[in-house]
Structure 1
Amino acid sequence: MWKRAVVYGLALAAGTALLQWLDYRQLARAQSETVHVALIALIFLALGAWAGVKLLGHRAPPAPPFDGNPQAQATLGISPREREVLELLAAGLSNKEIADKLHMSPHTVKTHVARLFEKLDARRRTEAILKARELGLLR
């Protein structure tokens, strides 16, 4: 009796597997484009996760804190206020905007800018900013 039950069970399992396989084939034919797109998306998801782990897994050590090269500042005689003006020049602010931000007159800003040009041996703002970056006065 148990042999018959095993044979019937195997036949039932084989029939179920055949029906599921036929159902899958029909689904694969009807939705083949969707299935292919989903498979490609899964591949790219796995590739992106792998690349993210490889690229972001090893972080560079943090950069040392920026000190503004106090030695160069002292050598050139740049005052703390002139340094503030220089930083705002590098940020692209106009004389009037710098004056508003630092609560001084535009004429005082012009004086600071002129002294910075002398100390950095520059003729234009861009040249002064470039030289200040080369000396490590700016980031």
Structure 2
Amino acid sequence: MKHQLRNIPLLKKVLWVDSVLGGGTALAGLFLYPVLAGFLGLPANLIIIIASVTLAYALLALSLARKSTPPVLPLRILIGANWIWAVISVVLLFLYFNEATIFGAIFLILQVLVVGGLAYQEGRHVVLS
């Protein structure tokens, strides 16, 4: 089974969005976790873990976005990892929803929607040939 990419210019825009959103979230979490822990009502360790994972995704998305044609295998890894992280985010939402502040609950919900949305949008550009 061989995969090929379609609409590479749009795919690259989605990858840039993935890298910017992920990078911003990661840097905020890594540098501001003591403040965010209180504001979001989430444990500081959880914020650091989310930020670290998000940074890894953002760096991979950035490396793919910078290529004229992103290689299919790393792109498929990013898409699969995003889907896995979206599922993990659903679990985190259920585990921490009651102790989170309203802002923390919104953050956890957005985490699921954004990561799942990015996985879906990126996946639309990889087709079987």
TM-score by length of 1: 0.25
Q: Which one has more relative contact order, counting CA pairs under 8 Å at least 6 apart?
A: 2
Q: Report which of the two structures shows the higher radius of gyration computed on alpha carbons.
A: 1
TM-score by length of 2: 0.27
More strand by share: 2
